[in-house]
């Protein structure tokens, strides 16, 4: 796809794909880009794995971004590598970003969690609930870099489950954003407004690519969350959530949209384009809802007598690490009328062709027994 004057296929870092992404996977990439950009070890994980940071650009606008704080949220890491490839290209946009910004990019903050494919770190602590206690080495690494760099902006990069839809629509939330709150009252402070303006800039771009698939994450305050803490320290902070695209369980399509978002957000900061927007533009983005199942089975009574007439079955996939790949294990989440829910795949057992397709899905049939 041709965007921003560059063909994405020429930018995409093909050496790192699919859902399972570890330090070892990105090491060859980091060794290559170290010839163009500064790559440093900024600390160690609980298990002694290196946490690395890439420094790009020389501008006065300092942007600190980190990915895989949760080890099983790898989509934004892949997009970050693509973004770095883009910055290494001699085009008008990349030149403007590097001239006006200095980017400090941590591709994997939680390498132990990445290797185990878990949300938590090796001490079974959620790093995104450790911003106040700073009990973990990875949390301390991030805070030390924050204190050292004194960024003007923070990009907190995450991934969200397949359950999220946009508002009350049947559209999955492929990308979601949040400007974290900095107090219980969720006050609209000056630094939150800047975050909102940058998000509004990215949203306008994304609406041209995936209209209706951009959501706004809940802004309930939690001082233990890193984004809320950095917002409390008066740094405009943006939470990125990489969500689901139809038939994209490896998150390779979503990866591309996160890549565009990173370029759009950094360029908005470099050119101060975001001042064209207001907090009202941010609040026009519909809030996320949780109305999706991976599989929704209608008229389930026709496949087994234990289900009542009219019952629907909502199935969610459990992500399981098998070797170096992620398998998607179906588990029943809800049974009932489920009238307001949607399915990424829907099978109506009253229709012979759909029942035939369902019966071919052995792994799903096994979960229903």
Span 360-369, pLDDT tens digits: 999 999 988 8
Instruction: Provide the pLDDT for residue 274.
Output: 98
4-50 pLDDT tens trace = 667 999 999 999 999 999 999 999 999 999 999 999 999 999 999 99
Confidence of residue 266 (pLDDT cuts 50, 70, 90): very high
Percentage of the chain lying above the pLDDT 70 cut: 99
Q: How far apart are CA 186 and CA 172, in angstroms?
A: 26
Instruction: Provide the pLDDT for residue 226.
Output: 98
Residues of the chain within CATH 3.40.630.10 domain(s) are 2-289
If you average pLDDT over residues 337-351, what whole number do you get? 96
Q: How far apart are CA 241 and CA 218, in angstroms?
A: 12
329-343 pLDDT tens trace = 999 999 999 999 999
Q: What angle do CA 138, 55, 17 make, to 5 degrees?
A: 70
Instruction: Provide the pLDDT for residue 369.
Output: 80
* Number of residues in the chain: 369
298-314 pLDDT tens trace = 999 998 888 899 899 99
| Pick from 80, 70, 41, 283: nearest CA to 186 | 283
Instruction: Provide the pLDDT for residue 131.
Output: 98
99-152 pLDDT tens trace = 999 999 999 999 999 999 999 999 999 999 999 999 999 999 999 999 999 999
224-253 pLDDT tens trace = 999 999 999 999 999 999 999 999 999 999
If you average pLDDT over residues 276-290, what whole number do you get? 98
Instruction: Provide the pLDDT for residue 368.
Output: 87
Instruction: Provide the pLDDT for residue 33.
Output: 96
Task: Answer yes or no: are the C-beta atoms of 9 and 241 closer than 8 Å.
Answer: no
Task: Answer yes or no: are the C-beta atoms of 74 and 258 closer than 8 Å.
Answer: no
pLDDT at residue 3 greater than cutoff 80: no
Instruction: Provide the pLDDT for residue 4.
Output: 61
If you average pLDDT over residues 156-183, what whole number do you get? 98
If you average pLDDT over residues 175-183, what whole number do you get? 98
Instruction: Provide the pLDDT for residue 2.
Output: 47
| Pick from 49, 93, 102, 87: nearest CA to 71 | 49
| CATH architecture of the domain covering 2-289 | 3-Layer(aba) Sandwich (3.40)
If you average pLDDT over residues 157-180, what whole number do you get? 98
Task: Say what the pTM is.
Answer: 0.97
Reduced 3-state DSSP string for the chain = CEECCEEHHHHCCCCCCCCCCCHHHHHHHHHHHCCCCEEEEEEECCCCCEEEEEEEECCCEEEEEECCCCCCCCHHHHHHHHHHHHHCCCCHHHHHHHHHEEEEEECCCCHHHHHHCCCCCCCCCCHHHCCCCCCCHHHHHHHHHHHHHCCCEEEEEEECCCCCEECCCCCECCEEEECCCCCCCCCCCHHHHHHHHHHHHHHHHHHHHCCCCEEECCCCCCCCCHHHHHHHCCCCEEEEEECCCCCCCCCHHHHHHHHHHHHHHHHHHHHCHHHHCCHHHHHCCCEEECCEEEEEEECHHHCCCCCCCCCEEEEEEEEEEECCEEEEEEEEEEEECCCCCEEEEEEECCCHHHHHHHHCCHHHHHHHC
Confidence of residue 92 (pLDDT cuts 50, 70, 90): very high
Instruction: Provide the pLDDT for residue 5.
Output: 62
Q: How far apart are CA 130 and CA 212, in angstroms?
A: 34
């Amino acid at each position: 796809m041709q965007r921003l004057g560059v063909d994405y296929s020429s930018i995409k870092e093909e050496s790192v794909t699919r859902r399972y992404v570890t330090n070892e996977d990105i090491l060859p990439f980091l060794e290559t880009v170290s010839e163009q950009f500064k790559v440093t070890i900024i600390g160690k994980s609980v298990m002694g794995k290196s946490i690395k940071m890439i420094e790009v650009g020389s501008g006065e606008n300092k942007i600190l971004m980190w990915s895989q704080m949760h080890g099983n949220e790898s989509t934004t890491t892949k997009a970050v590598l693509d973004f770095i490839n883009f910055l290494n290209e001699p085009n008008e946009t990349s030149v403007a970003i590097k001239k006006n910004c200095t980017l400090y990019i941590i591709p994997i903050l939680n390498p132990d969690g990445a290797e185990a494919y878990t949300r938590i770190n090796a001490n079974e602590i959620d790093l995104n609930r450790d911003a106040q206690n700073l009990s973990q080495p990875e949390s301390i690494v991030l805070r030390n870099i924050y204190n050292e760099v004194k960024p003007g902006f923070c990009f907190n990069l995450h991934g969200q489950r397949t359950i999220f839809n946009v508002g009350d629509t049947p559209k999955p939330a492929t990308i979601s954003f949040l400007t974290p709150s900095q107090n219980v009252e969720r006050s609209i402070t000056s630094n939150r407004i800047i975050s909102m303006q940058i998000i509004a800039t990215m949203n306008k771009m994304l609406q041209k690519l995936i209209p209706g698939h951009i959501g706004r994450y809940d802004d309930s305050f939690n001082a233990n969350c890193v984004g809320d803490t950095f917002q409390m320290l008066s740094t405009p902070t943006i939470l990125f959530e990489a969500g689901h695209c139809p038939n994209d369980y490896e998150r390779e399509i979503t990866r591309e949209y996160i890549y565009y978002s990173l370029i759009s957000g950094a360029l908005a900061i470099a050119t101060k384009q975001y001042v064209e927007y207001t907090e009202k533009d941010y609040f026009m983005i519909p809030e996320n809802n949780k109305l999706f199942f991976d599989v929704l089975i209608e008229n389930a009574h026709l496949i087994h007598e234990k289900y009542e007439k009219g019952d629907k079955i909502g199935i969610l996939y459990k992500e399981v690490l098998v070797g170096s790949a992620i398998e998607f294990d179906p588990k029943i989440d809800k049974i009932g009328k489920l009238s307001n829910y949607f399915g990424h795949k829907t099978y109506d057992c009253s229709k012979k062709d759909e029942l035939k397709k369902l019966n071919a899905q052995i792994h799903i049939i096994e979960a229903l027994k």
